[in-house]
Structure 1
Amino acid sequence: MSRDSRRVSWLLRHTAGERGLTMSADGWALIDDVLRLLGMDRRALDLAVEQNDKQRLQVDGDRIRACQGHSLDGMPVTREALENSWERVHPDDLLWHGTTYRAVDGIRRHGLLPGRRTHVHLAPAKDSPVGRRSAVEVLLGVDPADLSVHRAPNGVLLTRFVPPGAIVEADAVHPARWSAS
């Protein structure tokens, strides 16, 4: 991912509020405002959108937004508006969430929480590049039967919370390390 892509993504997902960027509740901002704030030209922005490795950025005419992954604090987005802009889905198969060994005990007790983000990110398959973090050590299988699940335009599946009982499988990415813990 390019430096410009990271800058645009960071602004639209985490710092729009503190930087004074006007943004709708579902994350849309005027491209001209983003360009002005970041000191970029349109060609650089278009390249940043194209080079974003997780397809996080979405352009619609004179507007741009991050598809998902917004912070709650200080951002003008709301969970409700984001969900209304995404597709509601009803998966039959397990969904997957990547995490670290260190986080597993807390997840077993409290479930998957979005932390400082609007939603928990899930993937449709173990090998999916969608929703995949770089430091994944454990893949948790989530039964989506009782969850409200949405799909963002870049394919990431999202829900507000996953209760401990919905986590029905845990697969180590590195089996030797998992069996040692």
Structure 2
Amino acid sequence: MSRDSRMVSRLLRHTAGERGLTMSADGWAAIADVLELLAMDRERLDTAVRDNDKQRLQVDGDRVRACQGHSRAGMPVTREALEKSWERVHPDDLLWHGTNRQALTAIQREGLKPGRRTHVHLAPSKDSHVGRRTSVEVLLAVDPGNLAVYRAPNGVLLTREVPPDAIVGADAVHWPRWSGG
């Protein structure tokens, strides 16, 4: 991912509030405001959106947003508005969440919580790139039966949290270490 793509993504997912960027509750900001705040031109922004490795960024006319992965603290986005902008889905198959071994005890007790983010990220299959980070050692199988699950425009599946009883299995991960997230 390019430096510009990381910079735009960080602004729209994590730092808009502290930097004074006006943003709608579902994450849209005026492109002109983003360009001014980041001191970039439209061509660089369009390249950053196009080159974003996880397709997190969206452009719609004169506005831009990160379609998922927002921080809760200090951001003008709300869970409710984000969810209204996503597609509600009803998966029949298990969903997956990657984590590390150290987190398993807490997850067994509390389930999956979004932490500092608005939602927990889930993947539709074990081989999905969603959630693959160098710290992922275990894939948790999640039964989506009683969960409100949404699909962001970039295909990422999200839910507010996963209770312990919806976690129905775990598999060790056997892939090469790689960066990303």
Q: Normalised by the shorter chain, which TM-score bucket?
A: over 0.9
**1:35 maps onto 2:35 in alignment:** yes
Q: Indicate the residue corresponding to 1:162 in structure 2.
A: 162
Q: Displacement of 1:114 after TM fit?
A: 0.3
Q: So what's the TM-score if we normalise by structure 1?
A: 0.94
CA distance in 1, matches of 2:63, 2:10: 16
Q: So what's the TM-score if we normalise by structure 2?
A: 0.94
1:79-158 aligned at under 5 Å gives the runs 79-158=79-158
CA distance in 1, matches of 2:12, 2:140: 28
SS state of the match for residue 104, structure 1? helix
Q: Please tell me the root mean square deviation across aligned C-alpha atoms, in Å.
A: 1.1
SS state of the match for residue 14, structure 2? helix
SS state of the match for residue 32, structure 1? helix
CA contact (8 A) 1:25 1:76 kept: yes
Q: Indicate the residue corresponding to 2:16 in structure 1.
A: 16
Q: Indicate the residue corresponding to 2:179 in structure 1.
A: none
CA distance in 1, matches of 2:155, 2:131: 8
Q: Displacement of 1:111 after TM fit?
A: 0.2
Q: Indicate the residue corresponding to 1:74 in structure 2.
A: 74
CA contact (8 A) 1:123 1:132 kept: no
SS state of the match for residue 125, structure 1? coil
Aligned in 2, Cα 1:81/1:87: closer, same or farther, shift over 3 Å? same
CA distance in 2, matches of 1:134, 1:92: 29
CA distance in 1, matches of 2:43, 2:16: 21
CA contact (8 A) 1:13 1:69 kept: yes
**Counterpart residue identity of residue 169, structure 1:** G
Q: Displacement of 1:127 after TM fit?
A: 0.4
Q: Displacement of 1:129 after TM fit?
A: 1.6
Q: Displacement of 1:45 after TM fit?
A: 0.6
Unaligned runs of 5+ in 2: 176-181
Q: Displacement of 1:131 after TM fit?
A: 3.8
**Counterpart residue identity of residue 93, structure 2:** D
CA contact (8 A) 1:130 1:155 kept: no
CA distance in 2, matches of 1:130, 1:161: 17
CA distance in 1, matches of 2:108, 2:122: 17
Q: Displacement of 1:70 after TM fit?
A: 0.3
Aligned residues: 175
Q: Displacement of 1:130 after TM fit?
A: 3.0
Aligned in 2, Cα 1:68/1:31: closer, same or farther, shift over 3 Å? same
Q: Displacement of 1:104 after TM fit?
A: 1.0
SS state of the match for residue 10, structure 2? helix
1:47-62 aligned at under 5 Å gives the runs 47-62=47-62
